[in-house]
A = this chain, B = another copy of it.
Protein backbone atom coordinates (compact mmCIF):
# COMPACT_ATOMS: atom_id res chain seq x y z
CA UNK A 1 0.00 0.00 0.00
CA UNK A 2 1.54 3.28 -1.09
CA UNK A 3 0.90 6.54 0.76
CA UNK A 4 -2.06 8.67 -0.35
CA UNK A 5 -1.69 12.04 -2.02
CA UNK A 6 -3.71 14.84 -0.47
CA UNK A 7 -4.70 17.83 -2.61
CA UNK A 8 -5.44 21.35 -1.43
CA UNK A 9 -5.85 24.57 -3.38
CA UNK A 10 -7.91 27.68 -3.98
CA UNK A 11 -8.86 26.44 -7.46
CA UNK A 12 -12.59 25.81 -7.01
CA UNK A 13 -13.70 23.44 -9.76
CA UNK A 14 -12.97 21.88 -12.19
CA UNK A 15 -9.24 22.74 -12.23
CA UNK A 16 -8.34 20.23 -9.48
CA UNK A 17 -9.60 17.44 -11.76
CA UNK A 18 -6.79 18.16 -14.21
CA UNK A 19 -4.26 17.72 -11.38
CA UNK A 20 -5.90 14.42 -10.47
CA UNK A 21 -5.72 13.30 -14.08
CA UNK A 22 -1.99 14.08 -14.17
CA UNK A 23 -1.40 12.14 -10.93
CA UNK A 24 -3.42 9.11 -12.05
CA UNK A 25 -1.74 9.20 -15.46
CA UNK A 26 1.64 8.97 -13.74
CA UNK A 27 0.91 6.79 -10.71
CA UNK A 28 -1.90 4.47 -11.67
CA UNK A 29 -3.80 3.44 -8.59
CA UNK A 30 -2.64 6.06 -6.09
CA UNK A 31 -5.28 7.12 -3.58
CA UNK A 32 -6.21 10.81 -3.87
CA UNK A 33 -7.83 12.67 -0.97
CA UNK A 34 -9.10 16.23 -1.23
CA UNK A 35 -8.38 18.48 1.73
CA UNK A 36 -10.16 21.52 0.24
CA UNK A 37 -10.18 23.44 -3.01
CA UNK A 38 -12.15 26.43 -1.78
CA UNK A 39 -9.56 28.19 0.32
CA UNK A 40 -10.03 31.97 0.02
CA UNK A 41 -8.46 33.02 -3.28
CA UNK A 42 -4.73 33.64 -3.11
CA UNK A 43 -4.84 33.98 0.69
CA UNK A 44 -1.68 32.15 1.75
CA UNK A 45 -1.93 32.63 5.56
CA UNK A 46 -5.51 31.28 5.74
CA UNK A 47 -4.62 28.24 3.67
CA UNK A 48 -1.50 27.68 5.80
CA UNK A 49 -3.67 27.75 8.93
CA UNK A 50 -6.08 25.13 7.59
CA UNK A 51 -3.29 22.91 6.29
CA UNK A 52 -1.66 23.09 9.73
CA UNK A 53 -4.93 21.98 11.33
CA UNK A 54 -5.74 19.10 8.94
CA UNK A 55 -2.57 17.55 7.46
CA UNK A 56 -1.21 16.26 10.80
CA UNK A 57 -4.23 13.93 11.08
CA UNK A 58 -3.20 12.03 7.96
CA UNK A 59 -0.96 9.00 7.87
CA UNK A 60 2.33 9.40 5.96
CA UNK A 61 1.37 11.05 2.66
CA UNK A 62 2.47 13.34 -0.11
CA UNK A 63 0.62 16.61 0.36
CA UNK A 64 0.15 18.74 -2.75
CA UNK A 65 -0.85 22.28 -1.76
CA UNK A 66 -1.24 25.18 -4.18
CA UNK A 67 -2.31 28.70 -3.23
CA UNK A 68 -0.08 30.67 -5.46
CA UNK A 69 -0.56 34.40 -6.15
CA UNK A 70 2.92 34.46 -7.75
CA UNK A 71 2.19 31.80 -10.36
CA UNK A 72 4.03 32.54 -13.60
CA UNK A 73 6.61 34.80 -11.94
CA UNK A 74 10.06 33.55 -10.96
CA UNK A 75 9.01 32.40 -7.48
CA UNK A 76 10.58 29.08 -6.63
CA UNK A 77 8.90 25.72 -6.04
CA UNK A 78 9.52 23.65 -2.92
CA UNK A 79 9.32 20.07 -1.75
CA UNK A 80 9.49 19.63 2.04
CA UNK A 81 10.13 16.41 3.94
CA UNK A 82 9.00 15.96 7.54
CA UNK A 83 9.53 12.40 8.71
CA UNK A 84 7.44 10.20 6.40
CA UNK A 85 5.41 13.13 5.05
CA UNK A 86 6.23 15.27 2.05
CA UNK A 87 4.70 18.62 1.08
CA UNK A 88 4.92 20.08 -2.41
CA UNK A 89 3.94 23.61 -3.40
CA UNK A 90 5.02 27.18 -4.16
CA UNK A 91 7.79 28.95 -2.24
CA UNK A 92 5.60 31.53 -0.53
CA UNK A 93 5.41 30.29 3.06
CA UNK A 94 2.34 28.09 2.57
CA UNK A 95 4.05 24.81 3.41
CA UNK A 96 5.91 25.86 6.56
CA UNK A 97 3.16 26.18 9.21
CA UNK A 98 1.78 22.68 8.42
CA UNK A 99 5.33 21.28 8.17
CA UNK A 100 6.17 22.62 11.66
CA UNK A 101 3.00 21.09 13.12
CA UNK A 102 3.74 17.70 11.55
CA UNK A 103 7.31 17.99 12.85
CA UNK A 104 6.06 18.58 16.43
CA UNK A 105 3.63 15.67 16.29
CA UNK A 106 6.09 13.23 14.79
CA UNK A 107 9.20 14.58 16.49
CA UNK A 108 10.78 14.90 13.05
CA UNK A 109 13.10 17.34 11.31
CA UNK A 110 11.99 19.65 8.50
CA UNK A 111 14.07 19.34 5.33
CA UNK A 112 13.40 21.79 2.51
CA UNK A 113 14.30 21.16 -1.13
CA UNK A 114 14.27 23.67 -3.95
CA UNK A 115 12.75 22.33 -7.16
CA UNK A 116 14.60 23.11 -10.39
CA UNK A 117 12.07 23.26 -13.19
CA UNK A 118 11.82 24.08 -16.89
CA UNK A 119 9.18 26.52 -18.10
CA UNK A 120 5.86 24.73 -17.49
CA UNK A 121 3.32 24.29 -20.32
CA UNK A 122 1.17 27.08 -18.85
CA UNK A 123 2.06 30.23 -16.94
CA UNK A 124 -1.11 30.20 -14.88
CA UNK A 125 -1.66 26.57 -13.86
CA UNK A 126 1.50 25.29 -12.19
CA UNK A 127 -0.73 23.04 -10.06
CA UNK A 128 -1.23 20.88 -13.13
CA UNK A 129 2.00 21.52 -15.03
CA UNK A 130 4.61 21.73 -12.25
CA UNK A 131 3.45 20.80 -8.74
CA UNK A 132 1.41 17.68 -9.61
CA UNK A 133 4.32 16.24 -11.64
CA UNK A 134 6.73 16.97 -8.74
CA UNK A 135 4.34 15.31 -6.28
CA UNK A 136 4.22 12.31 -8.62
CA UNK A 137 8.05 12.23 -8.74
CA UNK A 138 8.26 12.25 -4.93
CA UNK A 139 5.58 9.59 -4.62
CA UNK A 140 7.32 7.43 -7.18
CA UNK A 141 10.76 7.38 -5.57
CA UNK A 142 9.33 7.43 -2.05
CA UNK A 143 9.49 10.20 0.55
CA UNK A 144 12.58 8.61 2.11
CA UNK A 145 14.44 8.85 -1.21
CA UNK A 146 13.42 12.36 -2.26
CA UNK A 147 17.02 13.51 -2.34
CA UNK A 148 17.76 11.06 -5.15
CA UNK A 149 15.66 13.20 -7.51
CA UNK A 150 18.03 15.28 -9.64
CA UNK A 151 15.77 18.30 -9.68
CA UNK A 152 15.54 18.57 -5.87
CA UNK A 153 18.29 20.50 -4.05
CA UNK A 154 18.41 20.82 -0.24
CA UNK A 155 18.25 24.47 0.84
CA UNK A 156 18.83 26.32 4.10
CA UNK A 157 16.30 28.40 5.98
CA UNK A 158 17.66 31.58 4.39
CA UNK A 159 16.84 30.31 0.93
CA UNK A 160 13.07 29.99 1.08
CA UNK A 161 10.13 32.10 2.19
CA UNK A 162 8.94 31.31 5.69
CA UNK A 163 5.59 32.22 7.17
CA UNK A 164 4.78 32.46 10.84
CA UNK A 165 1.19 32.97 11.93
CA UNK A 166 0.89 35.87 14.43
CA UNK A 167 1.07 35.19 18.19
CA UNK A 168 -1.12 36.91 20.82
CA UNK A 169 0.25 39.14 23.57
CA UNK A 170 -0.63 38.59 27.24
CA UNK A 171 -0.55 41.32 29.92
CA UNK A 172 -1.14 40.54 33.59
CA UNK A 173 -1.69 43.40 36.04
CA UNK A 174 -3.12 43.28 39.57
CA UNK A 175 -4.89 39.96 39.01
CA UNK A 176 -6.41 41.02 35.69
CA UNK A 177 -5.29 39.45 32.44
CA UNK A 178 -5.60 41.04 29.03
CA UNK A 179 -4.92 38.94 25.95
CA UNK A 180 -4.68 40.71 22.60
CA UNK A 181 -5.09 38.29 19.73
CA UNK A 182 -6.02 38.31 16.10
CA UNK A 183 -8.70 36.60 14.03
CA UNK A 184 -6.78 34.08 11.92
CA UNK A 185 -9.69 32.71 9.90
CA UNK A 186 -13.49 32.64 9.81
CA UNK A 187 -14.75 29.13 9.09
CA UNK A 188 -17.81 28.13 7.06
CA UNK A 189 -19.97 28.26 10.18
CA UNK A 190 -19.00 31.90 10.76
CA UNK A 191 -16.85 31.02 13.77
CA UNK A 192 -14.13 33.67 14.14
CA UNK A 193 -11.07 31.63 15.06
CA UNK A 194 -8.35 33.56 16.89
CA UNK A 195 -4.71 32.80 17.57
CA UNK A 196 -5.31 32.68 21.35
CA UNK A 197 -4.50 29.25 22.79
CA UNK A 198 -7.45 27.79 24.69
CA UNK A 199 -5.47 26.93 27.80
CA UNK A 200 -5.13 30.63 28.63
CA UNK A 201 -8.86 30.57 29.42
CA UNK A 202 -8.72 27.27 31.34
CA UNK A 203 -10.52 28.48 34.46
CA UNK A 204 -12.64 31.30 33.05
CA UNK A 205 -16.40 31.16 33.09
CA UNK A 206 -16.72 34.45 31.28
CA UNK A 207 -14.44 36.87 29.52
CA UNK A 208 -14.82 40.46 28.40
CA UNK A 209 -14.40 40.64 24.63
CA UNK A 210 -13.90 44.13 23.28
CA UNK A 211 -15.97 45.47 26.18
CA UNK A 212 -18.77 42.88 26.23
CA UNK A 213 -18.99 40.00 28.72
CA UNK A 214 -19.34 36.63 27.00
CA UNK A 215 -19.57 33.15 28.57
CA UNK A 216 -16.81 30.60 27.95
CA UNK A 217 -18.49 27.26 27.29
CA UNK A 218 -17.77 23.75 26.02
CA UNK A 219 -20.71 23.38 23.67
CA UNK A 220 -22.60 25.69 21.36
CA UNK A 221 -25.80 24.42 22.94
CA UNK A 222 -24.67 25.65 26.38
CA UNK A 223 -26.09 29.07 25.45
CA UNK A 224 -29.46 29.94 23.91
CA UNK A 225 -29.94 30.03 20.17
CA UNK A 226 -28.53 33.25 18.74
CA UNK A 227 -26.40 34.00 21.84
CA UNK A 228 -22.69 34.79 21.74
CA UNK A 229 -20.15 32.43 23.26
CA UNK A 230 -16.43 31.78 23.43
CA UNK A 231 -15.21 28.24 23.14
CA UNK A 232 -11.96 26.42 22.50
CA UNK A 233 -12.27 25.05 18.99
CA UNK A 234 -11.11 21.68 17.72
CA UNK A 235 -7.74 23.24 16.79
CA UNK A 236 -7.14 24.38 20.37
CA UNK A 237 -7.74 28.11 19.83
CA UNK A 238 -10.38 30.44 21.21
CA UNK A 239 -13.28 31.06 18.83
CA UNK A 240 -15.88 33.84 18.91
CA UNK A 241 -19.07 31.99 18.06
CA UNK A 242 -22.86 32.15 18.18
CA UNK A 243 -25.08 29.15 18.89
CA UNK A 244 -26.76 28.38 15.55
CA UNK A 245 -25.59 31.69 14.11
CA UNK A 246 -22.50 33.44 12.77
CA UNK A 247 -19.93 34.60 15.30
CA UNK A 248 -18.17 36.85 12.82
CA UNK A 249 -21.33 38.93 12.31
CA UNK A 250 -22.30 39.08 16.00
CA UNK A 251 -18.82 40.11 17.16
CA UNK A 252 -18.20 42.31 14.11
CA UNK A 253 -14.97 40.47 13.35
CA UNK A 254 -13.21 39.61 10.14
CA UNK A 255 -9.87 38.00 9.27
CA UNK A 256 -6.91 40.01 10.52
CA UNK A 257 -8.93 41.98 13.12
CA UNK A 258 -7.39 42.46 16.52
CA UNK A 259 -9.53 41.22 19.41
CA UNK A 260 -9.00 41.88 23.13
CA UNK A 261 -10.00 39.45 25.88
CA UNK A 262 -9.96 40.52 29.57
CA UNK A 263 -10.57 38.38 32.65
Q: Bound state CA distance, A57 and B14, in angstroms?
A: 12
- Whether A38 lies near B18 (C-beta < 8 A) is no
Stoichiometry, copies per complex: 3
Q: Bound state CA distance, A12 and B189, in angstroms?
A: 8
A116 at the interface (CB under 8 A from B): no
For A41, list chain B residues within 8 Å (CB): 189, 244
Knowing A219-B123, A234-B128, A234-B129, the reply to whether A69 touches B244 (Cβ < 8 A) is yes
- Interface window among A24-32, A139-147, A162-170: A24-32
- Interface window among A70-78, A151-159, A173-181: A70-78
Nearest-Cβ distance from residue A28 to partner chain B, whole angstroms: 6
A188 at the interface (CB under 8 A from B): yes
Knowing A35-B17, A234-B129, the reply to whether A25 touches B72 (Cβ < 8 A) is no
Nearest-Cβ distance from residue A111 to partner chain B, whole angstroms: 22
**What band does the interface of chain A fall in when counting residues whose beta carbon is under 8 Å from B?**
35 or more
- Whether B4 lies near A17 (C-beta < 8 A) is no
Q: In the complex, which residues 43-100 of chain A have their Cβ closer than 8 Å to any Cβ of chain B?
A: 50, 53-59, 69-73
Knowing A4-B24, A24-B58, A59-B25, the reply to whether A234 touches B122 (Cβ < 8 A) is yes
A194 at the interface (CB under 8 A from B): no
For A239, list chain B residues within 8 Å (CB): 124
A218 at the interface (CB under 8 A from B): yes
Q: In the complex, which residues 112-160 of chain A have their Cβ closer than 8 Å to any Cβ of chain B?
A: 121-125, 128-129
For A72, list chain B residues within 8 Å (CB): 218-222, 231
